[in-house]
Amino acid sequence: MLVFTRRRRETIMIGDGISIEVLRIGRDGVRLGVVAPPDVAVHRKEIYDQIREANQKAAAAPQDLGAVAKRLRQRA
């Protein structure tokens, strides 16, 4: 892992077109500004992890889907 010391308003460049700037340094957190090309996904890791976990649960579908679908139709 590369480790940098950055002060407020200082930036790290990654490859072509990705930059991360330190906007504000607080007591409990650092505010960062990320500039990236539109084809580069930028996420808070914990949100991505939550969605990944939800997707893994969603992929494990039971066999009796017809019964579940019927229950949803009856509900509507």
Partner 1 sequence: MTSVLSTRPSIERPTSVTEELPPEIARDAVRFPNGLPGFEACRSFVLMQSDVLGPLQLLKAVEGPSASFLVIDPRRVLPEYRCELSQADRHRLGVSAGTDALLWLVLVTIELDGTVTANLRAPVVINPERMTGHQVVPHDCVYPIRHVIAEGE
Q: Does 29 bind partner 1 (CB under 8 A)?
A: no
- DSSP label at 66? H
- Tell me, letter by letter, the H, E, C secondary structure of 21-58: EEEEECCCCEEEEEECCCCCCCCCHHHHHHHHHHHHHH
Q: How far is the CB of 20 from partner 1 (least distance, A)?
A: 15
Q: How far is the CB of 25 from partner 1 (least distance, A)?
A: 21
Footprint of partner 1 (CB under 8 A): 38-44, 47-48, 50-59, 61-63, 65-66, 68-69, 71-73, 75-76
